[in-house]
Structure 1
């Protein structure tokens, strides 16, 4: 199979954490530094991993469940500062992602990122994984006044490249990703390899397609069904 034969849309947009990057180990390192400073034992990857796609507050609620929401909220700046120091130090790009991105590029299509991670952190991460010159568009959680599941970040990413929503597709591992894509009128794909809580059922998210691995996104039949 050649990359050109896959039939990618003009722009493939991705969520970041849990879709392109297995960043959970970076967040474990961050949380462990915070817990150590408070005399608490380390957290396990299995404990934290399901909560990563829900953001910093969900991870803090898991790691510091004994604290009330107000005290955890005050810890968010510390969390972000420490996480900035741990960016891409422990968590790899998911297997198959690099081949997928190269195939999109070789086909003449482009790819970008729409994440709820603060934009400054996402931009700092790109050169650490070699994507700074390859990512066509990046929208972070604070780029606009709203973030996913609002559709505006996805629509903004498409418009930045002069495209309409149907000319794009969005791949994400969380219900908010699929909700945002559906509201934007953009074909949606669930990344089943990502981060989910045990009671999450992706079948209820009503994505246009679901895939088990990044390699499955190289299947031309998948893209032909989405057109």
Structure 2
């Protein structure tokens, strides 16, 4: 069954449009080096990059938000990351071409991320994404994904009904948020994907490269 055709496509940022894991991993490994520890292997950090400070601190230090030292370490991580947002971060292969082709088809596109605006606002233009139709950060609304509020805010800013938007993301919470907002959802299998297989998330579609999204659009 074909998806209803969209008037806009909304994307998660980290792990969907952009491979930001190298700089996120770099920030947490700076913390380890400052404490006289060896770096955590990148392959252990990349799968949790979408979970931000919580996931990276757990992978690098085995620390959870309940620990008394967690908040100070979280602040340290965020400050380090802020100073190196785009050292090795890049758009995934095919993303820039995909966005051009969406624009040529007259489709709007936007970003809905759980990353705070403190990072999203400078990061998006550095990655060439500053011309998005809307950019909704994790602190734009009172709730972050998997709550539908950020996606509903994005649709409102684009002056569209939620069902006129598709949402593309690489994490279970992206699909949960999209479904809760009444949007068709597409799982991005090239992203970080956490510990779960994206085939189990209940997305309407699963794609393995950014440009495969075009196959879902009627010409």
Residue 201 of structure 2: which of 205, 214, 218 is its match? 205
Match of 1:74 among 72, 75, 97: 72
Contact 1:64 1:72 in 2 (8 A): no
Q: Pick from 208, 214, 218 the counterpart of residue 210 of structure 2.
A: 214
Runs of 4+ in 1 over 6 A off after TM superposition: none
- Does the CA-based 8 Å contact 2:16-2:188 persist in structure 1? yes
Q: Does 1:52 align with 2:46?
A: no
* Alpha-carbon distance in 2 for matches of 1:102, 1:124: 21
**Alignment check: 8 A CA contact 1:178 1:189 kept:** yes
1:70 and 1:173 map into 2 onto residues whose CA distance is: 31
Residue from 111, 116, 119 that aligns with 1:118: 116
What CA deviation, in whole Å up to 9, does each residue of 1:14-51 have, x standing for no partner?
00000011111001211111111111111221010010
| CA positional deviation for 1:88 | 1.6
**Deviation digits for residues 170-222 of structure 1 (CA, Å, limit 9, x no counterpart):** 00000000000001000100000011234x12222110100000010121xx2
Q: TM-score w.r.t. structure 2 length? A: 0.93
Q: Deviations over 1:44-92 (max 9, x none)?
A: 2101001011221111111111676331232111111111111121121
> How many residue pairs align between the two structures?
214
CA distance in 2, matches of 1:206, 1:50: 20
Answer whether contact 1:188 1:209 (CA < 8 A) is retained.
yes
- Unmatched runs of 5 consecutive residues or more in structure 2: none
Structure 1: tracts of 5 or more residues without a match:
1-6
Matched position secondary structure for 1:74: helix
Root-mean-square deviation over aligned CA pairs: 1.6
| 1:11 to partner: Cα distance | 1.2
Name the CA distance, whole Å, in 2 between partners of 1:40 and 1:25.
18
The correspondence of residues 12-91 of structure 1 with structure 2, limited to 5 A, is: 12-65=9-62, 69-91=67-89
**Other-structure match for 1:135:** 132
CA separation in 2, counterparts of 1:38 and 1:171?
Answer: 38
In structure 2, C-alpha distance between the alignment counterparts of 1:30 and 1:72, rounded to whole Å: 15
What are the Cα deviations for residues 137-176 of structure 1, in whole angstroms up to 9, with x where unaligned? Answer: 0111111110000001000000012110111000000000
* SS of 2:83 mapped into structure 1: helix
- Out of 161, 185, 199, which is 1:188 matched to? 185
* Number of the residue aligned with 1:3: none
